[in-house]
Chains A and B, each alone.
Chain A
C-alpha cells in the first residue's frame, strides 16, 4: 500500500492563484520530499523537509510538516501555467536512501 496519499487527486486553478496539495503518511519518517513530474518526463526533486522541521521555503514553494498528524502540505504561490504537472510526496523512513512515493496530485494551471 502507498505510504503517502495525496489530496486532492486533481486540482485546477487560474494563473496567479495559490495551489495547496496535501500528503498523509502512515509511519515515522526521517524526511519528506516533494517531486514534480511533467507529462512524459521523469520526476524532479523540489524540496526536502526533515522530521525536526516544521516549515521550509524555496522560491514560490512552501512546505509544512506536522509529524503528530503524519501530514505535509505543499503550497505553490502565484501559480503559473508552467507549474502544470503532477506533484508527489515521498517519505524516507530510514535506511538506504529508499523513498516511498505517494499517489500524486495533478495540478492544472489555466491562463
Chain B
C-alpha cells in the first residue's frame, strides 16, 4: 500500500534552534517528493521538490534530503524563526499517470517559541 509517514507528529523548539522533520514513504514507482509549508488558516505552499537523482537541496534556511534507496526524506530548518511555526507536509508523486498521483503525509506541526 502506498503511504507517506511523517515524524514527529508535533514539535516544539525555541527560536534560533535547528530541527529536522522526517518523511518515510512506500510509494512506488517514485517520481518526486515535495515539502509544503502550511500556515494556520492558509493553504500549503511549496518549499522544495526532490527528484530521484537529487540527494540534497537547500532553499534559504531549509535543507531537504532524499534517500531513494531507503525511501526517506528529511527537512532541516536552521536557525528557526517564529514565522517557521506551521505544519510541514510531505507529498510524494508516483509515475502511474500523466498527472502523477499524489500521496500526502499528515504533516508535522512545528511550533517555535520565543
A and B assemble together: no
Chain A residues near B (Cβ < 8 Å)? none
- Chain B contacts to A: CB under 8 angstroms: none
